[in-house]
A and B are shown apart, each in its own frame.
Chain A
Amino acid sequence: EDKVVQSPLSLVVHEGDTVTLNCSYEVTNFRSLLWYKQEKKAPTFLFMLTSSGIEKKSGRLSSILDKKELFSILNITATQTGDSAVYLCAVVISGTYKYIFGTGTRLKVLA
């Protein structure tokens, strides 16, 4: 069965800290991996990764994929209270384009 596992389930840090969120997967036909940020309702798209070893970066956020070890990490540097959210990882299955989501990591950044 295809599955995506995120860790940790939740995390509390202070402003200015750096955090690393993990996403590991076991799927039959991998196409891509996506990261989303969900603050209140609608998840918002962060990154899409398809190739191993190529870092995607947007401001203080960055992400990288390791297709050999079947995982991805999302890094947030110099965290701010506005980074508090649930971060979701999803793997897209090749052929069907189905999304398999992880249960998310809840990040809380304290002032």
Chain B
Amino acid sequence: KAGVTQTPRYLIKTRGQQVTLSCSPISGHRSVSWYQQTPGQGLQFLFEYFSETQRNKGNFPGRFSGRQFSNSRSEMNVSTLELGDSALYLCASSLDLQIETQYFGPGTRLLVL
């Protein structure tokens, strides 16, 4: 079975721009979560989607948004980028909602200049 895939793997943007990141979960997995990882803050939960609905949300500003499609693929969008948004964005999938075992993708490294 193919693992979680994320595209693109690397991205460079400038302040004020917006960005869309994509995540394809493991086949059959219906829950997708997004995390931001920075050296200072570690892994921080952004949001979780299941059946095209956001089920959980972390403490991030409204500039961070996401969605899930009927095939469970998910996208996250960050608008009006700030320097502090530079991070590794990780997506994780699990079989169902409320199943703790998550499988992570390789991440998208975003650099905001």
Contacts and interface: CB of A to CB of B under 8 A. Distances in A.
A41 B88 contact: yes
Interface residues of A, number: 22
Nearest to A36: B104
Given A48-B100, A97-B56, A41 B107 contact: yes
Contacts of B104: 36, 42-44
Interface in A95-109: 96-104
A99 B100 CA distance: 9
B64 interface: no
A92 B48 CA distance: 13
Given A43-B90, A45-B103, A103 B42 contact: yes
Contacts of B105: 42
Interface of A: 31-32, 34, 36, 41-45, 48, 88, 90, 92, 96-104
B100 A31 contact: yes
Contact of A101 (B42, B48, B101, B103): B42
Interface size range on B against A: 20 to 34
B38 to A, nearest CB: 10
Given A98-B48, A98-B58, 4 more contacts: A31-B100, A43-B90, A101-B35, A103-B41
A48 B43 CA distance: 18
A87 to B, nearest CB: 12
Contacts of A104: 42-43
B97 interface: yes
17 contacts: A41-B88, A42-B90, A42-B105, A42-B106, A43-B43, A44-B104, A48-B100, A88-B42, A90-B43, A92-B100, A97-B48, A98-B45, A99-B35, A100-B45, A101-B44, A104-B42, A104-B43
Nearest to A94: B98
